[in-house]
A and B are shown apart, each in its own frame.
Chain A
Amino acid sequence: MTVLTRQVQRIRGPIEIGVMAFLREIGAMAMFLAATVRHIFKAPFEVQEMILQMYQVGVRSVPIVLISGFFVGGVVVIQFNYALSLFGAEVYLGGITTSGLLREVGPVLVAIMIVGRVGAYITAELATMKVTEQVDAIRCLGVNPVQFLVVPRFLAVSAMIFMLTILGLLVALLGGALVGNLILDINLSFYFANIRKLTAAWALFTGMLKSILFGILLATIACYQGMKTEGGAEAVGQAVNRCLVHCSIAVFLADYIIASLAALTYGLAEEIIF
């Protein structure tokens, strides 16, 4: 009994520290998000900076989103074709692929691509500014760094992930149809016939809701990790790495939560909409 107690004592410490660190991190992030949201509605509005960030985040990610969206559409159609052929249900291929892309694969894919492209970029930029004391310099000039640096990036990332998701979904649907036609030899009219029947407006709504949530999460995590960096050049690298890991986990966690909520409510929602 004493051995067991001692063992429990020995592992209790690290677990408690881990849980407390996790909760503290979540709390700090929530406070950071609250401060950012509070500053969104305060003048002066950094419109120029926001447009520059939108260009960096949005326009420069377009090629990546287009290429990866097209090929992921192709991958999904190939795999679903195989899975459905086991039941002899290939008739439904178009509907299932479209619905799956809109609801799940598209938003998650775009979010993951943007994590690699934008999350690392924003965290590295903010962390470098923090480490080289540029953030302190901004504060010395009487400008609020959250308002000047974080708010434009937050708004730009949140808005651009939403728009890039729409773009990515369009290309993924195109990729699914084209790959189905060219490689799997599926008649396009056959492919399109079931889309209307199996894809509800609710599917698109779920996907868009996910992309908005992902955008807010990624923007918060990337800016938070950048702004809390302390130390030298090594700390910048660690901050980028942490940002990538936390964003990946946050995307899948949020996806799971929305998927389970949708699973509870989809029957009801489809009844309301149709």
Chain B
Amino acid sequence: MSWVENKTLRLIGRTLSQILYLARLGITVEGIGSNLFRFLEVTGGGMVLLIQTLWLVPRPPYRLREILRQALTVGWQSLPLIVVVLGFLGMITVLELNFQLSRVIHNLEYVPGVAGILMFREFGPTVVAAMLAAKVGAGFTAEISSMKNTEQIDALEMLSVNPVHYLVVPRFIATLAMQVALSVIGVAVAFVTGFLISQPRFNFQSYLTTMGHFVGVEDFLNLIAKALLLGAVVPIAACYYGFRAGAGAKGVGEATTRGVVTSILVIILLDFTINVVADKILEVVIQ
């Protein structure tokens, strides 16, 4: 039996040494420093691209056909995903609020109102933006990074066409517009599915009335503003990582992953910042 022990021990020892070796990485001074520098580089680069894009948006030539083509890809082809995901999210929100509110205020009458508030102010814009990051952002990064790898971006520069103006601006405008449209559609779908799941308790009239008591115009404006701000994240992050992709298929794959992760992370951070700022503004207004 000694060989079994020996083999097992060897395996455990190898495993532990490997874990220790791997865990060492990134905690060194060098690791922290290089991560910090990369963070600063990416933040700065993203901001520069954003400013360039905003600067170039009002300048001619206006590539209307290209914008419409991108809007078709971003909007129409993401519609099934948004409808399915937001549909389930609407039902999940109502189920969860049924559970939570029954314990806190012992009354399920207000569930549609709270669900509407959460949907308009938080989940609608954020989840749509995250889904677009996965569906559309990955496509943008893959497209631009493979263009870079096949030297098509250099060719554009040779033709004295600004690559940012030609590639980023149409995608930026299309995503911004479609993000707003898809957020509104998504919230509407979530409203319908939420109504269906709470069916025996409410009829359509009472559901709508209860929601109307809680959700006002300012919540709708909140939805639009958040959709516009979060919608700017996806094209900028995706295109930025596309432009700085490494060589070959590996570079494209890495850029895609980084683009999606960064988009979702920035969406969460920006959403948090907007909430904090909105909270402070609300406080000032009330005072």
Contacts and interface: CB of A to CB of B under 8 A. Distances in A.
A236 B257 CA distance: 13
Given A89-B104, A121-B257, A112 B264 contact: yes
B45 interface: no
A8 interface: no
Contacts of A183: 276, 279
Interface residues of B, number: 58
* Dominant secondary structure at the A interface: helix
Given A184-B279, A263-B98, A248 B272 contact: no
B110 interface: yes
Given A79-B121, A117-B261, A184-B279, A244 B272 contact: no
B205 to A, nearest CB: 21
Contacts of B118: 79, 83
Size class of the A contact interface (CB-based, 8 Å): 35 or more
Contacts of A212: none
Contacts of B110: 87
Contacts of A241: 135, 138-139, 142
B104 A256 contact: no
Contacts of A72: 268, 272
Contacts of A233: 146, 249, 252
Interface string A238-264: 001100110011001101100110110
Interface in A98-133: 99-100, 103-104, 112-113, 115-117, 120-121, 124-125, 128
Contacts of A100: 96, 100
Interface of B: 11, 14-15, 18-19, 22-23, 81, 84-85, 88-89, 91-92, 95-96, 98-100, 103-105, 110, 113-114, 117-118, 121-122, 126, 130-131, 133-135, 138-139, 142, 146, 214, 249-250, 252-253, 256-257, 260-261, 263-265, 268-269, 271-272, 275-276, 279
20 contacts: A55-B22, A59-B23, A64-B261, A67-B265, A67-B268, A71-B268, A71-B271, A75-B275, A79-B122, A83-B117, A87-B104, A92-B104, A100-B100, A128-B249, A233-B146, A237-B139, A252-B84, A259-B92, A262-B99, A263-B95
Given A89-B104, A252-B92, 9 more contacts: A47-B11, A100-B96, A124-B253, A124-B256, A237-B138, A245-B134, A253-B84, A255-B92, A266-B99
